[in-house]
Amino acid sequence: MSAAAGRAPPDPAPGRGVGARLARKEDRRFLRGRGEYVGNIRLPGMLEVAFVRSPMAHGVLKKVIKPRAKEDCVFVAQDLKNVKPIVAASALKGFKVSAQPVLATGKVRQVGELVAMCVAPTRAEAEDLADQTEVELEELPAIVDMIEARTRPPALVHEHWGDNVFLETLWDDDLSEVRKKAHIALKRRIRTARQHMAPMEGRGVVCEWNHRLEQLVMHTAAQMPHINRAGLAECLGIDQGSIRVISPDVGGGFGYKGILLPEEVCLAWLARTLGAPVRWLEDRREQLSANANCREHDYDIAIYADAKGRILGLECDATVDSGAYSSYPFSACLEAAQVSSILPGPYRMERYRCRTWSVATNKPPILPYRGVARTGVCFAMELMVDALARELKLEPHEVRIANLVRPQDMPFNNITRKHFDSGDYPEAVRRAAEMIDVSNIRKRQAKGESDGRRIGLGFSVYCEQAAHGTSVYHGWGIPMVPGFEQCVARLSPDGVLELRIGAHSHGQGLETTLAQIAHTVLGIDPQNVRLVHGDTALTPYSTGTWGSRCAVMSGGAVGTACETIGERVKAIAARLLEVSAKDLSFQGGFVCVTGTDRQLSLAEVAHVWYRKPQLLPADVDPAGLEATVGYKAKVDTGTFSYACHAAVVAVDTDTGHVDILDYVIVEDGGTLINPMIVDGQIFGGTAQGIGTALYEEMPYDASGQPLATTLADYLLPSATEVPSIRVDHLETPSPYTLFGQKGIGEGGAIAPPAAIANAVNDALAPLGVEITESPLTPRRIAEALLGKQ
């Protein structure tokens, strides 16, 4: 662990706008325990729900016997009349559609699938009812291994499909030339374990039917409230206007809360049927046993290179374990469809071929977890680059520098036609190599450690396409294609700016960063900016917060809306100050006549609009100080942020334990709206990446039982497992966004598994050990070493 955090933080940008390390506005309530998470909402007469969940991974549901004298408190599928199953169909050719009944019907397809819903005055009593409910199941062979599921299925998850494949994709190319001329060809089988996102707060729903508004009001911990509303409307067969979804304070998402839940549909139906508010809060055991739903990939991959280590070609068969159903809205196609287009990443090569399968198994339906497929492909690609370096006895960071897209190539369309906007990837690697001090590490390795541990050094590079728009997602065939983002901006009579956005903030600090944007455009004090988000009744439609899109999309919408308001303010101020609007500028909350000390506060201008319209210019825009403005990015392909991570590890070859001695990141997120918040995203993502690399996995036994169902077994890294991390920033603005900002929220979680695995493999290479499976647990490492003895 390093004592200092690398370079001193850069001087904060002057003022409180884009670039400033502004302390967060939302801290005020969280530091006093006054956050309003869904579990804090209590409605009069509220009843509590507990679910009966399938104990079996795959089985025919024969019968559910409700507890005697309490039958009217327990509901099964047959009771939920006219409720449709959840369907998330991809538009991609050949995608097989799954229908997920909100309460199991006919079959159960995963441990933890909802079978019955129990209602009682308290959660404890609801759980008592769940215990007393008997479920009769006839066991079917469990489909647990994704390769077997595809090639030698013991059974079918969805019988009418004829196989267990949601989707197959092919990015085709002819590698025959490359195979012939390559000096070196390396093949590997690489596997990443199934995981759980494990935000600190579980999911939760509080729901009631409002008679006055004839509307279902649902409070739910959600990242994409408008999408939840759409899904609820589809399943309940009512119009979207009959539903109001409110996402309050949310204790972490990471993708886990970007989903329409069967629990949400059940509670919506229940609230309407009972005429009483109802609540369900997910507990940790439900979460772990029923919802380990991400990251499980299998790569059969080959790399071809010349004698100097230049990559000539890459081919891969990749399989994604997508679980039992296609989740709404991202569907079971997203990760498998992404893989082939993002595997080559920022590397140049001549030929590339990739086949992918999204496979159905008796496990929880896949959800995109921070980084999505990028984490898996980075792991696969970066392990191959290091294998190549080892084979050719070259320094791994130099092999990267030789193969990465160069600044002079920008903007660059890579072999999968990904459009890279800007950046200097080799420089990121060079700086990371310098920060981690490669030559010093090599000397230390040569010397050996007094305690017998083995030191290793690993790099990984990734690029994060973010804030990409319509055409890209349409190309991936997801059912919910994002369009344009809007912001409703309103300057109130007392000069406070209210911004309404469709995305949602659950840790990213949007209440602060978007206020900083407003400050940059209008000079308004961020304390006088109020962000309204998370409520479908109050905000414009948005696909929500995911894919690292908010800084670019919501930021773009906010910036553009503020510009519109700014023009309107200037038009009024110009009349009041009797100057031309082009002589006006915004400064510190005032509209100022440039070069003089004449000025009006924003509040004074607003006061005239609202209270003294007789003073307005004759040609004033009657839309006034309220505007709904949309943002259109210059290109659809979004931004590419990127980074190089480097890790130094010490491996105890006796126990297999890995200590991270040093960890550096050189990242380029374009213009950083709030560098402090950007660092926070990087640190948090990296901690999750360390979890992926060394600690987190959800194993399943042969009958499909999840084996790590409490936090005693599913290990989340704590402050001792996460080291002090040093970060350096390159800031190459994106030419395509309003301030040059790029999406960066996921990057931290992409690179660490590869960097750490490469470091461990570097440490153990002299012993002939190479590990190609994550997490690199002590047992896996020690057994690999034992196997070599």
Partner 1 sequence: MTRTRRVAFTVNGRPVQAELEPRTSLADFVRESERLTGTNLGCEHGVCGACTLEIDGAPARSCITLAAACEGAHVRTIEAFDDDPVMEKLREAFSAEHALQCGYCTPGMLMTARDIVLRLPGADEARIRLELSGNLCRCTGYMGIVRAIQRVLKAP
Partner 2 sequence: MKPARFEYERPQDVPAALSLLKNEARILAGGQSLGPMLNLRIVQPPLVVDVRSIPELRGFSEDPETVTLGACTTHAAIEDGRVPDPSRGLMRHVASNIAYRAVRNRGTIGGSLAHADPAADWPSALALLGGVAIIQNPEGKREIALERFVTGLFSTALADDDLLVALRLNKLSEKARWGYWKFCRKAGEFPQAIAGALHDPERGVTRAVIGALRGAPHVIADARHCDPAAEAARLCADPYERQLHAVALRRALAQAHLA
User: Which residues make up the interface to partner 1 (CB under 8 A)?
Assistant: 1, 3, 5, 23-24, 26-27, 29-37, 39-40, 42, 124, 198-201, 249-252, 254, 281, 283-285, 506-509, 676-677, 679-680, 682-688, 710-712, 716, 718-722, 724-725, 748
Question: Should residue 779 be labelled a site residue for partner 2 when binding is judged by CB under 8 A?
Answer: yes
Would you say 171 or 254 has its CB closer to partner 1?
A: 254
Q: Among 73, 581, 715, 767, which residue sits at the site for partner 2 (rule: CB under 8 A)?
A: 715
Q: Which is nearer to partner 1, 204 or 309 (CB)?
A: 204
Nearer to partner 2, 234 or 659 (CB): 659
Quick check: 90 and 241 in contact, CB under 8 A?
no
- Give how far Cα 58 sits from Cα of 158, 616, 780, Å: 11, 70, 29
Q: Are strands 134-139 and 59-65 parallel, antiparallel or unpaired?
A: antiparallel
Q: How far apart are the first and last CA of the chain?
A: 31
Choices 123-131, 352-360, 367-375, 456-464; region in contact with partner 2 by CB under 8 A: 123-131
Residue 715 Cβ vs partner 1, minimum distance, rounded to whole Å? 10
String marking each residue 480-519 x if it binds partner 2 according to CB under 8 A: ----------------------------------------
Amino acid found at 496: V
Answer whether 487's CB lies under 8 Å from 558's CB.
yes
Please identify, using beta-carbon distances, which residue of 286 and 386 lies nearer to partner 1.
286
In terms of CB distance, is 285 or 598 closer to partner 2? 285
Comparing CB distances to partner 1, the nearer of 40 and 492 is 40
3-state secondary structure of 773: strand
Q: Which does residue 131 bind out of partner 2, partner 1, none, counting CB within 5 to 8 angstroms by kind?
A: partner 2
- Which residues inside 248-307 make contact with partner 2, applying CB under 8 A? 283-285
**Closest CB to partner 2 among residues 1, 786:** 786
By a kind-dependent CB cut-off of 5 to 8 A, residue 254 interacts, out of partner 1, partner 2, none, with partner 1
Measured distance CA(386)–CA(456) in Å, rounded: 12
- Tell me how crowded residue 312 is: count the other CB atoms within 10 A of its CB: 20
Residues 689-708 that bind partner 2 (CB under 8 A): 695
Please report how close the Cβ of residue 282 comes to partner 2 at its closest, in angstroms.
10
CB 292, CB 316: distance < 8 Å: no
Among 128, 163, 306, 770, binds partner 2 (CB under 8 A): 128
Helix axes 550-577, 510-522, angle to 10 degrees: 40
Q: Which is nearer to partner 1, 24 or 109 (CB)?
A: 24
Q: Which is nearer to partner 1, 435 or 591 (CB)?
A: 435
Q: Yes or no: say if 268 and 232 are a contact pair by the CB < 8 Å rule.
A: yes
Out of partner 2, partner 1, none, what residue 39 binds, judged by CB under 5 to 8 A for its kind, is partner 1
| C-beta of 426 vs 723, nearer to partner 2 | 723
**Residue 167 tokens, joined:** 């989707």
Name the residue among 282, 256, 285, 278 with its Cα closest to residue 55.
285
Q: Which stretch binds partner 2 (CB under 8 A): 34-42, 263-271, 654-662, 667-675?
A: 654-662
As a whole number of angstroms, the distance between CA 739 and CA 193 comes to 38
Spatial distance between the Cα atoms of 150 and 168, rounded to a whole number of angstroms: 11
| Residue in 480, 511, 559 with CA at minimum distance from that of residue 250 | 511
654 sits near partner 2 (criterion: CB under 8 A): yes
Find the binder of partner 2 among 27, 71, 131, 177 (CB under 8 A): 131
DSSP assignment string, 241-293: GGEEEE--B-S--TTTTSS--HHHHHHHHHHHHHSS-EEEE--HHHHHHH---
Candidate list 124, 155, 623, 707; residue touching partner 2; CB under 8 A: 124
Total number of residues that touch partner 2 (CB under 8 A): 27
Peptide bond between residue 55 and the one before it cis (omega within 30 degrees of 0):
no
> Smallest distance, Å, CB 269 to partner 1?
25
Structure tokens of 727? 């970060």
For helices 550-577 and 602-611, what crossing angle results, to 10°?
70
Residue number with CB closer to partner 2 (48 or 386): 48
Q: Which amino acid is at 28?
A: R
Tokens of 202: 């579980």
Question: Binder to partner 2 among 309, 479, 704, 717 (CB under 8 A)?
Answer: 717
Name the one residue in this structure whose structure tokens are 């979004």: 638
* The entry of partner 2, partner 1, none that residue 23 binds, CB within 5 to 8 Å by partner kind: partner 1
Minimal distance, residue 721 CB to partner 2, in Å: 5
d(CA 72, CA 90): 38
Cis peptide before 775 (omega within 30 of 0): yes
Residue from 26, 437, 721, 770 touching partner 2 (CB under 8 A): that is 721
Q: What residues make contact with partner 2 under the rule CB under 8 A?
A: 122-124, 127-128, 131, 283-285, 654-657, 695, 710, 712, 715, 717-718, 720-721, 777-779, 782-783, 786
